[in-house]
Amino acid sequence: MDLFGGKTLDEPNYSLHAHSVLTVISLSGGLRIEKAAYIKVGKFGNSVSGCPDYLMGNVMKADKKSAVKKIKEMVYTTKQEPEEFRTNMDRLFSTVFLPNNVECSERDYGGIKCDVISPVVYSSKRVIIYIHGGSFVGGSCSAYRNFCASFAHASSCRLIVPEFRLPPTYPFPASIDDLVNVFRSVYEEENVARNLEISASGLRPSNSSGHIIIAADGSGASLAMALIFKINKKYRSNIQNLVLFSPWLDMSSDSPLIAGGRKVNDGVISGEAIHAAVDKYTYAANISNPLVSPLKAPIEDFEAFPQVYIQMGEKEILLSQAKELKSRLSQVGVDCIMDVWPDMMYMFQMADEFLPDSHLAVNRVGEFISKREGDSEEEIEERRKIIKKNNIWEPQKN
């Protein structure tokens, strides 16, 4: 079924493609879609629009018990070996079809294999580098592909997921080193593309802020902040936002979470589990290193940080650490938005088949990214027209 039939799109800032067979030919000022076919994307997807069933009129009831059971598989414990933990996480979270007609390709950045996830409509002005969680020792492109596809669609951004090295085979700082290499490669590529666009148009962009977004969840938040600490000001100034889901920010021995051990537990994650994970990541004397526990960094290290957006559940034991990060950022004049969802648990966004709030939460973050200050009314209207013209489901504000 050919939905586009060789249609020419003349919108310069947004690119369009679809799931399945696709040939794109560059034209002056636009793209040409030679062939694109939609396929059904799964239990909670609509075959044409990618809209979740519960938003198409079917009521979806929250099943928190099943959600908690699934999300617990993202948390490493000493009951499993790291390899077994990774295998189970991949098995549970991997999927064959991606939602919302999103496309996924593979390429290297800085010598690191990465997923490149592209929604049907995306801005050429922004790209997300997503650093996956998984208790330091687990997680993969495969396990995060479904979630990142939804996130990319909601954000109208291309999204890059690095397959960085994991402990204990590759302990600290191997993961950080890989991410620095990825970031530098993406930075260089995006700046070349931006300069070519400026040369072609003869106009400089009205918004001179950064165009790379760093996003991460769980233990990936520690890696994301370590990345920002390590890169120099030239690179840091090109980061538009730091988006954190349920971040791990302090694994040191004097952290109340670690000191409390098994007793500090929110039903999904515990201080004991965090300690078990960081013990596989690095040696004991290094856990207070700011590159491992970001809240241990001196206050001046947070200067010139990008705007931070933190989304998490109200029930999380990690909430106090997130509030502490917000306080530290405010001391140096960096804006931090706290988006706390009532009655939600750690990484509830990864249980979208059980929780309607998962979809709504990802859409809220996506709206924050895709409608940043600096986008003109013309650019916002341009995106709306493309979405309407091509029958793409657009989440409503909530």
pLDDT number for residue 28 = 27
On average, the pLDDT of the chain sits at 83
pLDDT single digits (tens) 235-274: 999 999 999 999 999 999 999 989 888 889 999 999 999 9
**Which 3 state secondary structure label does DSSP give 376?**
coil
Region of 5 please: left (phi>0), alpha (psi -120 to 50) or beta: left
Q: Which residue type sits at 109?
A: Y
CB 17 within 8 Å of CB 386: no
Model confidence at 6, in pLDDT bands (50, 70, 90)? very low
Question: Where is average pLDDT lowest: 140-144, 163-167, 233-237, 306-310?
Answer: 233-237
| Nearest by Cα to 139 from 154, 161, 123, 158 | 161
At 162, list the tokens.
Answer: 């690095």
- Distance separating alpha carbons of residues 14 and 273, to the nearest angstrom: 43
**Which 3 state secondary structure label does DSSP give 84?**
helix
pLDDT number for residue 372 = 54
pLDDT(40) > 50: no
Name which residue leads in pLDDT, 51 or 122: 122
pLDDT number for residue 195 = 76
- Distance separating alpha carbons of residues 131 and 144, to the nearest angstrom: 10
Name which residue leads in pLDDT, 206 or 7: 206
pLDDT single digits (tens) 50-105: 444 444 445 678 999 999 999 999 999 999 999 999 999 999 999 989 999 999 99
Model confidence at 157, in pLDDT bands (50, 70, 90)? very high
Question: Where is average pLDDT lowest: 152-166, 168-182, 258-272?
Answer: 258-272
pLDDT(16) > 50: no
